[in-house]
Structure 1
């Protein structure tokens, strides 16, 4: 009796050999993904460590001349400003509030002030009195005091 001859492929690589090939590729891919993520990168609100380079938050503050956000029904421009920038500096309260600094950019009291605009028109009342509405754009602009 003759045993039929089958054509079969040689056995594929053993599992251990395949694992040795996949392991470095997996480690490399994980390393690349970790290097591309932004975890561990300080955000704009975090404090910078002591170094020779300038604090990026300070650079933004020096150049800031405008700050905008959307209005919300039932909230004043001042309430929303304090939500959007908890570090905003304000003198007085409520209807008598006067904004002196936004995002770390302080207006020079001799030559500048933070002007309040609603949909690109200067507000006729102060931030503590201005009831905003959904869909409005509230903008603070650093203005020069006219002498």
Structure 2
């Protein structure tokens, strides 16, 4: 069984990842409604980091990002849309067994008991990202949480 479906190049630093995400966001321009269209996504840093960020810090939104959101699209899974919005996202397993370990360069730290939690329209998802069929108009959000 393949235990890794996507792995980014480890040599990419957070600055390169931030540029990649910024380029993806700039290229998207809006919500995707057609199959194969790009996905518009938003990275958010923790609120306490945002208040102390200097102008140079704001140039790298992926650094320390705690939340990642994008719109749903009828017929696409949350995992498919995540990988469209952030090709550098790290996932172990496949399909219904997929487990997201990093988004936007932010790795969930096992030593801190962190994980990426999936929600739809503010409610925790009841199935995994590889199984969750999204719909137009839904807001899909990933948030770093602890267990």
By the TM > 0.5 criterion, same fold?
yes
- Across the aligned residues of Structure 1 and Structure 2, the Cα RMSD in angstroms comes to 2.5
Q: 1:58 to 1:97 in 2, by over 3 A?
A: farther
Instruction: Work out whether residues 62 and 106 of structure 2, in 8 Å CA contact, stay in contact via their aligned partners in 1.
Output: yes
TM-score (norm: length of structure 1): 0.60
Q: 1:102 to 1:58 in 2, by over 3 A?
A: farther
Q: In the TM superposition, what is the alpha-carbon distance from 1:56 to its structure 2 partner?
A: 6.3
Aligned equivalents of 1:106, 1:99: Cα separation in 2: 9
Aligned equivalents of 2:70, 2:86: Cα separation in 1: 10
The higher radius of gyration belongs to 1
5+ residue gaps, structure 1: 1-41, 47-54
Q: 1:75 to 1:112 in 2, by over 3 A?
A: same
TM-score (norm: length of structure 2): 0.60
Q: 1:64 to 1:56 in 2, by over 3 A?
A: same
In the other structure, the counterpart of 1:60 is 61
Which of these residues, 124, 127, 146, is aligned with residue 125 of structure 1?
127
In the other structure, the counterpart of 1:108 is 109
Aligned equivalents of 2:96, 2:58: Cα separation in 1: 30
Higher RCO (C-alpha under 8 Å, 6+ residues apart) = 2
In the other structure, the counterpart of 1:18 is none
From the two aligned structures, give the one with the greater strand fraction: 2
For residues 5-37 of structure 1, what are the alpha-carbon distances to aligned partners after superposition, in whole Å with 9 as ceiling and x for unaligned? xxxxxxxxxxxxxxxxxxxxxxxxxxxxxxxxx
In the other structure, the counterpart of 1:9 is none
